[in-house]
């Protein structure tokens, strides 16, 4: 059976060790999207880190929630003056953006992420329903940190096995 798509760089039709052909073939647009995502994630500069990639995803979604919590504090008039809710939400959003920027620099971004989650949980003092959101995001953060580290360790062991 012949493959209607031309061979792409990085995907070979030759059989691999198990005798089965390599089934992963990306279209040109998929290849371009994959390469762009890897560049944004900083993969071109060194080893990839699944833990940092997952952490940046969680912080990115949390950024949206923090802005919405700030708007809720403003809209409900929980604080006096009302603008204080906007300042708190905006300040925490700036910390998240800084954490996302530092995520490419190593583990510093992960430490900032832990601080963001502590601050997120503290917003429950002002808006009790924020505790539910904070607990959900903190649980997601812990899961991503544990599984990301496990995937990174397994990848390092696999690479060492392939090279050695």
Identify whether 37 is part of a domain: no
13 pLDDT tier (thresholds 50, 70, 90): very low
More confident residue, 155 or 12: 155
106-142 in b/e burial notation, b at 16+ Cβ within 10 A? eeebbebbeebbebbbebeebbeebeebbeebbebbe
C-alpha 9/C-alpha 3 separation (Å) is: 15
- pLDDT score of 18 more than 70: no
- Domain boundaries, position 137: 51-150
pLDDT digits (tens, 9 = 90+) for 52-105: 999 999 999 999 999 999 999 999 998 899 899 999 999 999 999 999 999 888
Residue-level pLDDT at 37: 67
Structurally, how many domains does the chain consist of?
1
Provide the whole-model pTM: 0.71
Identify whether 126 is part of a domain: yes
């Amino acid at each position: 059976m012949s493959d209607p798509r031309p061979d792409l760089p990085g995907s070979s039709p030759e059989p691999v060790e198990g005798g089965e052909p390599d089934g992963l073939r990306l279209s040109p647009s998929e290849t371009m999207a994959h390469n762009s995502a890897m560049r944004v994630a900083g993969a071109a500069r060194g080893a990839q880190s699944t833990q940092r990639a997952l952490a940046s995803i969680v912080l990115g979604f949390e950024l949206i929630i923090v802005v919405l919590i700030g708007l809720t504090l403003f809209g409900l008039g929980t604080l006096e003056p009302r603008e204080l809710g906007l300042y708190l939400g905006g300040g925490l959003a700036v910390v998240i953006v800084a954490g996302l920027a530092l995520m490419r620099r190593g583990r510093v971004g992960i430490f900032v992420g832990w601080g963001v989650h502590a601050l997120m949980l503290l917003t429950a003092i002002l808006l009790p329903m924020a505790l539910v959101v904070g607990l959900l995001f903190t649980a997601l953060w812990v899961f991503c940190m544990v599984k990301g580290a496990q995937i990174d360790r397994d990848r390092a062991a696999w690479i060492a096995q392939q090279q050695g």
